[in-house]
Each structure stands twice: as structure tokens, then as C-alpha cells.
Structure 1
Amino acid sequence: MANYKNLIKTAASYGLIVAAGLGAGYAVNVVPAMLKPAYVEGDYSAYFPNAQTKVVLYGTSWCQYCAKARDYLKTNNIPYVDLDIEQSEQARRQHAALGGGGVPVLLVGDRKMTGFNPSALQSAIKELGG
């Protein structure tokens, strides 16, 4: 009976160690993204094809977050320029010059956003007066 209790305690201890390790591994991936600002401000005017363009999306055809960003922009009737970094060498160079780091990269006025963040995108559009 005592041996059975020790076995249960040992198994529970190992279970807690594994759970703590999984939790720490998850936190290592998630926490930095939570601490990262939603956007970076700067002068991105060189990346807009003309003075009327206020939103540019750098993405790919297969990226689900690019698709969500496109859908958001279309649903909200926001005009934008869609640049596929796999189909256009110029778009690939511009994306790299902006720091790359994944897709989508959205330029909205003086804000650069990496990834799709609906609230940050909405705030940036509102800042443009749109």
C-alpha cells in the first residue's frame, strides 16, 4: 500500500514537471508577441505608389492572415494596394527593406503593422480619417 502511494506521488510530480515545462515553452513563444507594439510609426511615403494611396498590404496568396486582412479591408470598403511578395521582385525588395519578418505587412499612413491585428488596423484607418 505504501509503495502504491509513493508511485502515485512520483507520477503526480512528473506530471507537474511536464505541465510546467509545457507552460514555460508556450510562454516563451507567446509573451514576446504580447509585449511587441501593435505598430511602428515612421515615414513610409516612399512605399506608396501615389499620393492617393494610404494603405499598402505586402502578403502572399497562401497566408491566412493576409486573407483576413484583405477581407477586412474589402468589407470596410477601404481602398488598398495589394502586393504579393512571391509574385513581384519589387514587392519582395520593399518588404525586405521594411524589415520583412513575416506577412502580412500593412502600411497605413505613417504606421507599419506586421501581422493582422483588427483593432490596430481599425485605429490606423480611423487616424487617416477613414
Structure 2
Amino acid sequence: MIRALALGLILGLLSACTQEVDMVGLREQIGDDPVIMLSTSTCGYCKRLRADLADWNVEFRDIDVESSRLGQYAYEMLEGRGVPILLVGDRTVHGYSPERARALLTAADLIPTPSKQ
């Protein structure tokens, strides 16, 4: 029982420290493009994600978080700790995760599912 109470307390404290992202406010600032990538020009994983998106024929808006005030704002709003960050609608993928990115893009009907190809 003490463990359960301690776990509940820890989870409560963590949730109090975690800021919920205002996706509506963020989208009002950065635009409503279905797919937006926050990146840098020197990031190798960003380059790989750009190539993946091109291979999947996905149009996207690329915002540099180092040279763009808009990119810096979005990065801070999303509590970024690295790039790339991919926004698909109101969902995000932090870091290079092609499987997760493809799954979100497929769920949003932005790339065909394997059975439709």
C-alpha cells in the first residue's frame, strides 16, 4: 500500500511538472500545414527524415529551429530536446523514428497503407 501511495505521489508530481502543449495556439503561430518538421540544417537525422518523407511522397513544411524565430518558438512550445520533431496534425514525433512517423502519416491518410499500394 505504501508503494502504491508513493507511486501515485510521484506520478502526480511528474504530471504537475509536465506542461501540456497548446496545439491550437501553436498551430495558429506556425500554420496549419498537415505535416511540419522542425529541424536544423546540420542534423543528420533531419536529413534522413527529409529523405524518408520524399520517398513516401509526403509534402511537408520544414522550419529551421536555429535560424527561424518561428522555429525557435515552436521548439520551445513543444519542449524540444533535440531535432527532428515531426508534427502530423496535432500529433508529434520527437527524434528520428521512421516507424512512428510512417504510422502517424498513414493514420492521417497522408501516405497509403501497405494494402492500398
Deviation at 1:129?
0.8
| 1:49-88 paired onto structure 2 within 5 Å | 49-50=31-32, 53-88=33-68
The alignment-based identity, stated in percent, is: 31
> Segments of 4+ in structure 1 off by > 6 A?
none
TM-score (norm 1): 0.62
Q: Aligned residue for 2:103?
A: 123
Contact 1:44-1:109 at 8 Å conserved across structures: no
CA 1:105–1:118: 2 relative to 1, 3 Å: same
Give the superposed CA RMSD.
Answer: 1.6
The partner residue of 1:95 within 57, 70, 75 is: 75
In 2, the alpha carbon distance for the partners of 1:121 and 1:43 equals: 21
Provide, for residues 9-28 of structure 1, a one-character-per-residue CA deviation record: whole Å limited to 9, x for no partner: xxxxxxxxxxxxxxxxxxxx
Matched residue of 1:112: which SS? strand
In 2, the alpha carbon distance for the partners of 1:69 and 1:110 equals: 19
Specify every segment of 5 or more residues in structure 1 that has no aligned partner in the other structure, as ranges.
1-41
Q: How many residues align?
A: 87
In 1, the alpha carbon distance for the partners of 2:108 and 2:22 equals: 14
Q: Does 1:108 align with 2:88?
A: yes
| 1:13-52 paired onto structure 2 within 5 Å | 44-45=23-24, 46-47=26-27, 48-50=30-32
Provide, for residues 15-54 of structure 1, a one-character-per-residue CA deviation record: whole Å limited to 9, x for no partner: xxxxxxxxxxxxxxxxxxxxxxxxxxx763433513xx21
